[in-house]
A and B are shown apart, each in its own frame.
Chain A
């Protein structure tokens, strides 16, 4: 699902012949897609902003039920200097919601940590059939060169 913080990654995925990208109408479609890919012997990852975690809660639980590996990369909203106060409530509950859905969560506060944590998250997810979320801090995204 689109977000400014994911814009460059989405474009890179779409250009990569080894990656199949699917644009969804709601984040709630994501866990089903991941489970289906798992059944077909492929790895799948989800990109969404923190509000989308709330949209997906019941669907996310199927991944734990089936031990379907998933890497979820979440761009945080409503946690630091967000101009829209309506984002704050969901942003504040995003990490605890993911934990409640059975996800391991890792927060990234500094751009230089992204590669290491995402790599470790992939190893955890696909090596052990776990559900792993990497939360990209809003402050880091706002300060990163190239973020829109």
Chain B
């Protein structure tokens, strides 16, 4: 099992021009804990929508690579998005799910994945081109390579410990986060 902060920290090391969309709750804090970044878009509402924000961005910016970093609760709430993404086959989109089998932000109630519901299997069924499960920190090097150079849609299923690290809270101003992201990512590469 991975420590979520250590995994996300290594995954986003030397991230370059990678665009990152974070699911509301603890994944947002995990990404912000690596250091706030203008190419981060933090989602604070609409639980279940994170993967679709990633798809919209991926289709709008085929010149950039996009990583969605979210939790099992958010993904379960929008599981149909995996089918929508699989149908569109965006080559530049990765979904990273930090799966601890619990709703961490609301008191650690168990989620469906705690009973063995297999999100990686779901992604495979939804025609993700690369599906990788990771539970050992040493594997992060490989996963990071996939994130930066693999052909999407990519699904990274990270099995993390069900702990509750300190909240590292970024801006909650949706308009400000949006504007900063648009300006920082405007450059075409």
* Chain A residues packing against B (C-beta within 8 Å): 20, 22-26, 28-42, 44, 58-59, 61-62, 65-68
Contact = CB atoms under 8 A, between A and B. Distances in A.
Contacts of B48: 28, 32, 59
B87 interface: yes
A24 B44 CA distance: 22
B178 interface: yes
Contacts of B182: 38-39, 41
Contacts of A34: 56
A41 B175 CA distance: 14
B49 A68 contact: no
Contacts of B46: 31-32, 58-59, 61-62
A59 B81 CA distance: 13
B78 A39 contact: no
A40 B57 CA distance: 5
A29 B49 contact: yes
Contact of B41 (A26, A33, A39): A39
* Chain A interface main SS type: helix
Contact of B56 (A36, A59, A66): A36
A65 B174 contact: yes
Q: Give the 3 A-B CB pairs with smallest separation, nearest first.
A: A36-B56, A40-B60, A32-B52
A62 B43 contact: yes
B97 interface: no
27 contacts: A22-B59, A23-B84, A25-B80, A28-B48, A32-B49, A32-B55, A32-B56, A33-B52, A33-B56, A35-B49, A36-B56, A39-B53, A40-B56, A40-B57, A40-B60, A40-B185, A41-B60, A41-B182, A41-B186, A42-B60, A44-B56, A58-B45, A61-B46, A62-B46, A65-B175, A66-B177, A66-B178
